[in-house]
Amino acid sequence: MDNRQKEINNLKDYKYGFSTDIENIQAPKGLNEDVIKFISNIKKEPEWMLEFRLKAFERFKVLKEPDWQKPKFPKIDYQDLYYYSAPKSMKDKPKSLDELDPKLLETYKKLGIPLQEQARLNGIAVDAVFDSVSVATTFKDELTKQGIIFCPISEAIQNHPELVKKYLGSVIPTSDHFFATLNSAVFTDGSFVYIPEGVRCPMELSTYFRINASNTGQFERTLIIADKGSYVSYLEGCTAPMRDENQLHAANVELIALDDAEIKYSTVQNWYPGDKDGKGGIYNFVTKRGLCKGKNSKISWTQVETGSAITWKYPSCILKGDNSVGEFYSIAITNNHQKADTGTKMIHLGKNTKSKIISKGISAGSSDMTYRGLVDISSKAKNSTNYTQCDSLLMGNKCGAHTVPYIKNKNSESNIAHEATTSKISEEQLHYCQQRGLNPEEAVGLIVNGFCKEVLQQLPMEFAVEAQKLVGISLEGSVG
């Protein structure tokens, strides 16, 4: 018990809230063509990439910031942000980890991310993104042997332009919504994964994002392509220092699964949520979209959302290939003044497509949580099925839990089932646990973990443990 208490005390405050003092190179403040050219130039990008960015920027200029979301936030001044920030030592990329700035290594050590390849036991290949650039990618050799490409996207643009050119923007086009278009114009780095035909990726691939510099927006771009018959499991984690101002994080993630391929994408999102009074924290406005392009393909999203001042994202699946499968498992926890508006979109286009949505929302304190989802079965998607379940748990009467599902069925041979419940932890459940010697906080932890179990089970082992702890910590102080 003592150990647990210690652990909790350690974690009670946002433990990733430190910032690292590192010399930065920044693009001039503001958003204009020059800044985009600056980013493109510093990354030594080919001409077509700059065109891609400028095209997106043209489009961005005519778009308006959306305002239909539930959590309202003060207007963001897009001219008051730095769109590029990189540790100075990264200017000429180090050849190996030994050349990496020790301060950076220390930062990742503090975060518990194994960048040193000695940490082989973990068996996870990591790509670490610090502010705007990818600083290190581990296990490269082993992956290369199998023909797997796992590298920063800026490297991929130079080394594998044919793949990037073909797939970048094919799921999230440059003409998409406001934040996605902004990302297309100014994205800085992120991960690129290509799994060749018939290869089952031998280890979990992982990216770790960290926002360090202040007044910086992080705009990373992830592109994952699973060729025919391949399989990959990809993890994503994120943290940021504690700062009083709100920071914007607008990433784009594109997944493409060809025939018989499977992509499993897991996120444990733990951005700085702001302090108890709701000051500071990250605006997490991310666009994640997967395309099941081929027959029998499968994309599965799993997310544990505990951080961010505002989370606003809908990881989606476009089920284009016949017999393709889309899955979405989500736990979203909001405490104090956090706000979340999250859910998914399942767009059924192919025949015999299946989708499953399991969403668990927990709100405590003065937080506000919304599940918003779309299930759209088009008239050609014969024999498709969808099952949706979204449950919310409320703790206290200052928080809110909302469910806004959109259900569209245009096919008489398809079935959609949706159910949602909202409840609180019953007195009986609490009493039962306490009677058996658990204190109220432990009892709540146990019940909440049980509530989330369906989703936690979907996470890879290493992540599941972390996530389970995170669930407990996020709700710390919300009982009694």
Where do contacts with another protein occur on this chain (CB under 8 A)? 68, 379, 392, 394-424
Q: In terms of CB distance, is 415 or 457 closer to another protein?
A: 415
**How many residues does the structure list for the chain?**
480
Q: In terms of CB distance, is 225 or 369 closer to another protein?
A: 369
Q: Please, what is the end-to-end C-alpha distance for the chain in angstroms?
A: 19
What's the CA gap between 11 and 8, in Å, rounded? 5
**Facing residues of 68 across strands?**
none
Residue type for position 148: I
Query: Least separation, in Å, of the C-beta of 181 and another protein?
Result: 20
Query: Least separation, in Å, of the C-beta of 393 and another protein?
Result: 9
Query: Least separation, in Å, of the C-beta of 67 and another protein?
Result: 12
What's the CA gap between 369 and 414, in Å, rounded? 30
Q: Quick one: tokens of 19?
A: 């910032």
Query: Least separation, in Å, of the C-beta of 357 and another protein?
Result: 13
Query: Least separation, in Å, of the C-beta of 226 and another protein?
Result: 31
Query: Least separation, in Å, of the C-beta of 383 and another protein?
Result: 10
Q: In terms of CB distance, is 297 or 370 closer to another protein?
A: 370
- Asked if 129 and 208 count as a contact pair (C-beta separation under 8 A), the reply is yes
Determine what percent of the chain falls in helix, strand and coil, rounding each to the nearest 5: 25, 35, 40
Q: In terms of CB distance, is 93 or 418 closer to another protein?
A: 418
Q: What is the DSSP string of 111-144?
A: HT---STTGGGG-EEEEEEETTEEEEE-SHHHHH
The pair phi, psi for residue 470, each rounded to 5°, is -60, -40
Q: In terms of CB distance, is 128 or 393 closer to another protein?
A: 393
Greatest Cα pair distance in the chain? 69
Q: In terms of CB distance, is 329 or 371 closer to another protein?
A: 371
Query: Least separation, in Å, of the C-beta of 56 and another protein?
Result: 25
Residue identified by tokens 């005390």 is 9
Q: In terms of CB distance, is 278 or 400 closer to another protein?
A: 400
Query: Nearest to residue 419, comparing CAs of 377, 359, 361, 368?
Result: 359
